[in-house]
Amino acid sequence: MKKQIVSIALTCLIGGTTQAQLGKFLKKGGESTADEGLPKGVELYTTEHKDDKGVSGKYFMKYPVTLATVNMMNIPKPFKVSEVTIEMRDNLTGVFHFVNNEPKLQIRYSNANMNEIADIGTGAMNPEVVKKTMAKCNCFRMSIRNMFMPKGNLKQAFKDGANIYVYTKDPDIILVGQPDISAFKKSGKKVFFMEHGMDFKGGSFNVISKDKTKLEQWDSTKIADALFEAELTFNGEVTSAFGELVSMPKQFVNDDAREKEYLDLIQPMAAQDKPKAWGDRIDYVYISKDWEVVYVNIAKTIPKFRYCKVISVSYGWDKNECRYIPCTIKQNWDGKDYGTVYFAGFEGALVPVSCDKTKAFKH
């Protein structure tokens, strides 16, 4: 219970610190770059790996990470390591190798296939979006999901959900962390995520290098600055990369008069949309689904209303990007006929899309 309270206090403290305070706080407790007493029979992994991006290879850590073996009574025995080998594969996945025979030592599941297992991947993001984004920003950013055997509350190696970034100014350097970009954009504070039982340094905040001597140039403040710079660089190209993969909904009918009428209905509502009013950026609308009637009764003899779907296209976003959003137009049944056409709302959120694709629907 005491450990949990301390961990919560750390989270609150770090969330409110300035950049300088963050660096001073993290330096407490010293730094270690040597492996601290490997258990008997445990040997470091030494096989080298290569890939076309130059990410694979043997790395040394600024801050050690925790691993654990289990004894004959199935009790975990933690130990620290300061070296890791990264094996990146062609399909945007990779694996961390710390020690030999990880399945046999029960660091991983005993039936783990080390040729197929993946600790590094694209996370929740579409792999094609990640691939395109990295090509656009000329950067490397992947997500961590350790495929280790769970041992109670003991967290092992790097934190699940953190990212690895190749430092753009030196490809021998990889940053490990999970910077909170949304909080940074709102308040300017550099906040990192933590978990109870996970050391802040090492597992969720680290710098690793192929050249051990380069680690001397890094302190916690420099790591924090580099992590946020790397995430902002990647983050800045995600929307554009996603937009290139998105397809515009098909046009159902071409009717200039109706499109003009619907545009006039939608624009004022878009102008009220917050936090970014975009009514003045609507370029045009087109009809993606024509009238469909909704009935009051099961026999479908008494109409309630009818609706159609339109796509509203806007331009002039950041980096001259485009967006579209599906909208609903309705007409209520008054007992004799359908009444006045009105705007019934946006369907979901604005979708990034390549401006080249939006031009296909202009007439």
97-116 per-position pLDDT tens digit: 999 999 988 888 888 899 99
Note the pLDDT of residue 200: 61
Verify that 159 and 203 share a domain, yes or no. Answer: yes
Verify that 46 and 159 share a domain, yes or no. Answer: yes
Continuous segment of H or E residues that includes residue 289: strand 282-295
Pairing, β 94-97 against β 141-144:
unpaired
Give the chain's residues under pLDDT 70. 1-36, 151-155, 191-200, 275, 363
* Tokens 């401006």 sit on residue: 355
d(CA 211, CA 61): 10
d(CA 216, CA 227): 17
Note the pLDDT of residue 7: 34
d(CA 173, CA 342): 57
Verify that 53 and 123 share a domain, yes or no. Answer: yes
Name the pTM for this structure. Answer: 0.76
Verify that 131 and 240 share a domain, yes or no. Answer: yes
Note the pLDDT of residue 12: 36
Count of domains forming the chain: 2
DSSP for residue 225: H
Verify that 105 and 170 share a domain, yes or no. Answer: yes
Note the pLDDT of residue 73: 75
Verify that 282 and 210 share a domain, yes or no. Answer: no
Residue 250 counted as domain residue: no
Residue 251 counted as domain residue: no
Verify that 172 and 216 share a domain, yes or no. Answer: yes
Q: Pick from 308, 350, 307, 343: which is nearest to 325 by CA?
A: 350
Verify that 190 and 273 share a domain, yes or no. Answer: no
Note the pLDDT of residue 183: 73
Direct distance between the N- and C-terminal alpha carbons of the chain, in angstroms, rounded to an integer? 67
By residue range, what is the domain housing residue 47? 2-245
Verify that 26 and 156 share a domain, yes or no. Answer: yes
Note the pLDDT of residue 128: 94
DSSP string over 190-220: --B---TTS-TTTTSSEEEESSGGGGGG--H
